Structure 1
Amino acid sequence: MPLVVPGITSSGGDNKTNDWMNKLMGKNLGNTTNETTFAKKDLPKEHRIVDSDGGMMTMDHKPDRLNIHVDKDGTVKKVTHG
């Protein structure tokens, strides 16, 4: 799991995005939360999971929607809002 240090390895900007990035980066999504997994049930209502390798997604902008970009093995690589 990659080391995430707020303000150093995460970009500046929106605090809610940074908070989610710190919770999710390097983890997989699953049914329970532990050191390597984050429970899907604990995600905000407005979220979508996107394939980082060019997965398609709609272009509608919803500022409160959490976008979770995952790689082929399901590891979270990027978190954005919109």
Structure 2
Amino acid sequence: MPLVVPGLMSKDGDKSSDWMNKLMGKKLGDASNETTFAKTDLPKEHRVVKEGDMMSMDHKPERMNIHTSEDGTVTKITHG
């Protein structure tokens, strides 16, 4: 029987992984370079969640959640 890991083969998992590769370790800014990703290149449905911020619990599968550390560096991407 094959091992099934939730999110590993799903579209949402792939979507989050693709964005993680683009954003991980970068900060959000006005232009893209080695250390910054342009805010204008983000999907329309997104929100930035800083460490310690509260989040609403409404579920929107198309919305990308960008989790950042206190200094603004992207640490995690989720959808929902």
TM-score normalised by structure 1 residue count: 0.82
Opposite residue 58 of structure 2, the aligned amino acid is: D
Following TM superposition, where does structure 1 have runs of at least 4 consecutive aligned residues deviating by more than 3 angstroms?
Answer: none
Question: Which consecutive unaligned segments of at least 5 residues does structure 1 have?
Answer: 1-10
Opposite residue 48 of structure 1, the aligned amino acid is: R
**1:75 corresponds to:** 73
After TM superposition, give the deviation of residue 57 of structure 1 in Å: 1.1
Tell me whether 13-22 or 30-39 shows the greater mean CA deviation. Answer: 13-22
Opposite residue 12 of structure 1, the aligned amino acid is: L
**1:55 corresponds to:** 53
**1:24 corresponds to:** 23
SS at match of 2:28: strand
Question: Which consecutive unaligned segments of at least 5 residues does structure 2 have?
Answer: 1-6
Which protein has the larger Cα radius of gyration, Structure 1 or Structure 2? 2
After TM superposition, give the deviation of residue 30 of structure 1 in Å: 0.1
**2:3 corresponds to:** none
Opposite residue 78 of structure 1, the aligned amino acid is: K
> What percentage of aligned pairs have identical amino acids?
66
SS at match of 1:38: strand
